[in-house]
Amino acid sequence: MINSNFYKKLGLDEDLLNAALTRFSEIKDVCEKQSRLLLRGKCKGVLKLDFISRLAVVLYSLPSVYLNYKEKGIDDKIFFDTFSDINIWCANAFDQYGEKGLENIHWITKHLSMKIFRIGRLQFEFSRFLILPHAGIKNIIRCPYRLGEKCITLHIPQGEKLDNDKCIDSLQRANEFFKKYYPSYKYRCYTVITWLLNPDFRTVLGEDSNIVKFANMFTLLGYVPDSDMNERRVFGYKKDRKNYSPENALQRYTLERINKGKPLLSYNGFVKKNLFNP
């Protein structure tokens, strides 16, 4: 049986952890039922619960996910790194809504159903190749990957600098991870959809910035307006516009576009699977 040290390894705030563990003893039946669904990637029922109850169901589900990891032989380190994201999303929920617990259950369901893993600095998700609007016909023709083919989408968790060596290490380790634990999953590239690939950042931040070095690893393939997410990522989840006072070039750029009514964009990029292998 898993003891409370297991949950402590997630790095959750102690009061929050205790509140969620208390809630899960109060709503055990709900947790049991919803947990079975979460493990299969279904979170509709949990969306009806308040944030502490959502967190309770997630914590209740974790021992089963841990067993699934153990069955595959996946390292404890990958498990706890992957689920340290709960911490990040509880903090974002508190900033945005002032409520303790977990709001973004859609996202954490991907982790519970083993669709996403954190390997080093980055997260990796089983996915299909996408082409966003404005990709340009020449780029689409030149692109070596087909719309809808299997790929791995990567994500960039907040919480630490985007050190380029760590990103490359992550990509190399992801190759090994998927080869070892998911050998039948054949894919040829990694993709990403993020505001970090904005080509304007080359002049705004300079070539030495982590964000620009990260962006330089990818070939672009289209973009979409994504103002809300961009703004939250740069000014915080509260979106308290009257108190914005830009402290760096990135915030100045973002605020200037907001004030001019220009959309903030997210870009699609791809990189060949083995590009960074030694």
Considering Cα of 229, then 232, then 234, then 239, what sign does the dihedral take? positive
As measured in angstroms, the least distance from the Cβ of 170 to ligand COA is 13
Q: Return the number of the residue (54 or 233) whose C-beta is nearest ligand COA.
A: 233
Give me the DSSP letters along 183-206.
Answer: TT----EEEEEEGGG-TTHHHHH-
Q: Return the number of the residue (53 or 194) whose C-beta is nearest ligand COA.
A: 194
As measured in angstroms, the least distance from the Cβ of 20 to ligand COA is 24
d(CA 264, CA 230): 6
Give the residue at shortest CB distance from ligand COA: 209
Q: Return the number of the residue (69 or 195) whose C-beta is nearest ligand COA.
A: 195
Strand ordering across the sheet containing 265-272: 116-119, 122-128, 150-155, 189-194, 265-272, 219-225
As measured in angstroms, the least distance from the Cβ of 134 to ligand COA is 18
Considering Cα of 277, then 108, then 197, then 245, what sign does the dihedral take? negative
As measured in angstroms, the least distance from the Cβ of 54 to ligand COA is 21
As measured in angstroms, the least distance from the Cβ of 137 to ligand COA is 26
CB atoms within 10 A of CB 202: 14
As measured in angstroms, the least distance from the Cβ of 250 to ligand COA is 4
CA 41 to chain centre: 16
Residues 58 and 102: beta-carbon distance below 8 Å: yes
Q: Return the number of the residue (176 or 200) whose C-beta is nearest ligand COA.
A: 200
Q: Return the number of the residue (18 or 158) whose C-beta is nearest ligand COA.
A: 158
Residues 131 and 147: beta-carbon distance below 8 Å: yes
The residues facing 155 across adjacent strands are 123
Q: Give the residues lining the site for ligand COA (CB under 6 A).
A: 156, 158, 161-162, 194-196, 205, 209-211, 233-234, 248, 250-251
Q: Is 122 helix (H, G, I), strand (E, B) or coil?
A: strand
Q: Return the number of the residue (195 or 218) whose C-beta is nearest ligand COA.
A: 195
